Chains A and B, each alone.
Chain A
Amino acid sequence: MYMLSVAVFHPGLIWAAAGLALVPLIIYLLNRRRYREVPWAAMQFLLAANHKSHRRTRLEQLLLLILRTVIISGIAVALARPFWPSSAAPKILGGSRHHILLLDDSASMSARLPVTPDQTDTTTLFDWQITRALQLLDEVPAGDPVTLITLSQPARILSRSLLFDRSLASRVVQELAPGEGVNDLAGALQLINELPAEETDRQRALYLFSDFTTGYRGPVDESQLAVMRQQVQKLQQESELVLFDVGVEQQDNLAMVEWRAAHAVVGPGEPLTLIGRVHNFGTHRHEPMRVEIRLDDQLLREEALPAIEAGADHIFQSTIIPERSEWEVLSARIATGVADALSGDDQRPAVLQVREEIPVLLVDGEPGREALLGQCGYLLTAWSPQLRPDEPVLVRSQIAVETELIGLALDRYAAVAICNVRRLPAEVWHKLHEYVQNGGGLMIFVGDQVDISHYNETAGDWLPARLGAAAFEQPGRDEFVRFDPRSLAEPMQADFAGRERSGLFLARIDQYLRVEGSQSSRGAELMRYTNGDPALLSRTLGAGRVVLVTTSANMEWNNLPAKGDFVTLAVNLLRYVVADGARFNNLTVADRYLCPARQLEAAGLVNSKLLSPDGRESTPELRRDERGYYLQTEPLLSSGWYRLRFGGSEEPIAVRRNLADSDLARISESEIRTLFPEPIEIRHVSPGSTTTLIQQRQEASAVMIYALILLLLVETLLAMLFGHQK
């Protein structure tokens, strides 16, 4: 019970008190060592006296020692300014105080208060918070200044200067609308610490309203948490901090936590799989429901979902066939009628880029070989199966030799495949590295021509692994391996999981290159051979990916191209490395839209405009850094569709809810106290309670000083009585 708790302003002095408590004991022990020695004749009387008074003397000494310890440590505790909340004691801070209200407008505060099914009350935690904040403003003594800060990311100060007019402050609070971001406590604390000097002269009282749900945890990184704790402690040294817990017990909430295209290689007429995931954050099983899939806000179809247990997910897929090459705006929404506390996270938008074609560059290490002898021929056939010359293909492959690479502008290609190339100039490797960093996809297929030491020396640092020696001395004899069906990772999983008898796993791998280094030093393994050696490795670099295939893409080292699954594997790899063209367009609330200028039409950038979901218009900034020009907006604070207009074109931007606030489970008080170290007062003002919010804090120091004076008198009297007084 916080009412019974006593906290201190300066916790450090509590440690000092503990240290000082040892002082009398140390003095006592030192005195026992510092004595004078005298011969004594009347020893028999002294021994008799000591025998009779020994126990009493020890008790007296112990009593005095305890008293002195209590007095000395009590002084340190009193200096630490202990206090407890009560309305009976006089106000200790005196004068006017600067009241800082931290109002939680994060997404979880939009949760409706628990109601019975037949009730239609739509009051939210946020509404309740506003009610209590207005009450608090009423309780603020006249003349005391007020500052209002909202917590939803990014934290904001609602008034530039101090609000001395309480009616004005109340009006500002009343006009406040719930946000959609997560809690930004760190940002809010930073704002308080940066308040102008004239606003920090007064004693301050911080009132933090929050529902304290799991999303409140804020930073999960230990270093961030440590920084935040430091900020809190700094504030606590000079301010009174009261937490108002306006939350209610956990409520049921379903949320659409994932909605995306399965891959980025999307073309007109190509079937596209969309993956959705619904999570039940509540504590009860949720009945079957429907999910609406909308294209440009038009209902496209409905998917029926089964019942979802508490804490469980349900993943569903839906396939569409885009008709034109354009930006597609798709959303999935849990159908209305599902009663949960938070409706804002029931819908999730996604932007897709349907591309006319996807250019891929194949670098052939064996130029001149027939089409289906070299590796490039097999890959080209797999990616661009053009049965007729006029047939449109999505993946437009171009073959080049290594010497041509220097002159090519790689950013024109969505992916580059290096096929059994012996060596590449260092500047080409550098160019490839930069290409991947900027979002390009690179695939490396090895073969008998590959100069292993050259690869390792020039690109070993950033390729998924350093290459090792060939696995078998005499390939084609009895030694061979296969792909291990138990070792699949994305992107192989979707097509091959559970298909152990498919051609991929029956293919015979007669030769491959081993890789060096420990598993932690290598990239992610996408697939392994049956002997455990890595077959496919991947590494993400900047905005792009590199995939290393440790065997060949033709029939020389394996018979995989003879299997039908070769095409699926090649397409999956391509889909895996090709960067999502819409990766800059799918954002989370409070993110900034930030896109390199090369992605946009350069001519129209200067006059670009951003339209928010509610129709407000703003102008993004064109900035430049070492990587060139890029376009940047202010943080996007509403979920839904934004539209970026430039040069007659328009790009949609999907802003999704941060799912951290969908889990309405509340964090424990002990967890709160790890974030806000003592002294902290946590007051539960859940809906329905009507207690006074601003309690005059009672300083225990005055009481303690009286008690210490009394103890001092008692000690003196006892010392005199016991004969210990000099």
Chain B
Amino acid sequence: MATFEVKNLSLHYLTRFGAKVHAVSDVSFEMNEGEILGIAGESGCGKTTLVSGLMGLCLPPLYPTSGDVIVDGESLMGRTPAEIRENVLSRKVSMIPQGAFNALNPTRKIKDLAMDVIESHEENQSKKAMYKRIYDRFELLGMDTARVLNSFPVQLTAGERQRSVIGISTLLNPKMVIADEPTSALDVTTQKQIIGMIFDLLEKKVFSTMIFITHELPLLRHVADRICVMYAAEVVELGTAEQLVFDPRHPYTKALMSAMLSAEEGAKGRKPEAIEGAPPNLVNEIAGCRFAPRCKYAHPECKVKKMEIRIVGDRQVRCDYAE
């Protein structure tokens, strides 16, 4: 049985005027222990909303429409926020946020924040025992532990803050870690360090199952076992990392790959191919394929016929014409 299972998950935002924005629709995938899934897609395609859904943390104005998320055989949907907080967050599913600097409370020492996490989930812990636990975990991360724990976030370097965030997020050994664009807006050197750090933690068995969200497809090839590409709230293609990067089938994945800049030979002067047009407005019901208006290979019937996920070989593609 899969450790983590997403079944036809749909989520929507309710606007002030009563309109529904279907930010995630009909997303399904399953993951086994020790697997790393990459989720890629343009800005606004629903990646971050999906993260909230995956954690079961649907706070207004976000509401679940249908579907379910099952972690370790337990369903997350239809449970009260208090239950989710108590039993799911940090324990089962944990998140590594984007931008570790702002994620840490500026007026709280790292150890106090970490203790708050433990206290919030486990009762009657002595301060000493908690500190010992935190200390050991941070030691494992290879930090100047005593100094870092007794520092305020401002006193730490960017790398130390990132490590601290990872340390705090994985403190209660969650089954699943979701890294939400941990490398966005960072320079390549820092990106490399963070990827290195995540691999380090995987090696040290701090956590094993991970969802890595980014809008940089090539990066995922180095990290993920499988990649899931999202477009306009839907999964358009799901397959192994090699397949998606070197042999994309869905026109959107293809377009995404050719829009990437790479360091290969003869790249000079080659124009990256931007995808014409803009993603659809998710407030309206969309009749046909969501990518059809921008698709180079679109058939006339694409605009009217709703595309369903198809299994092509060992991958899933949401395009009837993909081979």
A and B assemble together: no
| Residues of chain A at the chain B interface (Cβ within 8 Å) | none
| Residues of chain B at the chain A interface (Cβ within 8 Å) | none
